[in-house]
Structure 1
């Protein structure tokens, strides 16, 4: 028989683990590169840009448009990887705590 009290206790435990995982996302650092490494953007697991490194050779007025494109590409690559790592971290934090419910995706909590 379904034990509602046990399930409620488990949900509180899951909520605590999810909160802890979300707080730890700030420690995940991912760097995306573009232009053969000439532009590097580093983001954390909370999808915040924490560093931007631009090769000195790109800092020329005539290369402004190309530089903008490379920065956008580097940031997007870093954000995509950060999202993957954040979802993995969240999944690890709740592993074995929830029953296997088809369609349950905790990725939206990241």
Structure 2
């Protein structure tokens, strides 16, 4: 019994280390999202840090339109980064979980 618990504790520590390493790696993974017409482009990391915004000069004349473009494109980038982040971390967590009946349904 105690051997099983010690093994599980070791596996948990190993999984925590893998999760931390994955989080660190996700800081270097970048995603680019563009507005539907390509006038605004946003670069964001998978850890959801905004790195760059490119704006076509044609949008500079209309503040409200520019604000709308920025909101839509940044939200699109955040959604994409969140999906990548969650998928990567869930994969690491699932990989490190002991085989407990019924637990696999938590990761679907």
TM-score by length of 1: 0.82
Structure 1: which 4+ aligned runs deviate by more than 4 Å?
A: 102-105
TM-score by length of 2: 0.84
What runs of 5+ residues in structure 2 fail to find an aligned partner?
none
Distance across 1 between alignment mates of 2:22 and 2:106: 18
What runs of 5+ residues in structure 1 fail to find an aligned partner?
106-110
After superposing the two structures, state which structure 1 stretch, 67-76 or 93-102, moved more.
Answer: 93-102
Match of 1:108 in 2: none
Shift of 1:33: 1.6
Count residues with an aligned counterpart. 103
Say whether the 8 Å CA contact 1:40–1:74 is kept in structure 2.
yes
Say whether the 8 Å CA contact 2:40–2:70 is kept in structure 1.
yes
Q: Deviations over 1:23-50 (max 9, x none)?
A: 1111111122225110111110111110
After superposing the two structures, state which structure 1 stretch, 24-33 or 3-12, moved more.
Answer: 24-33
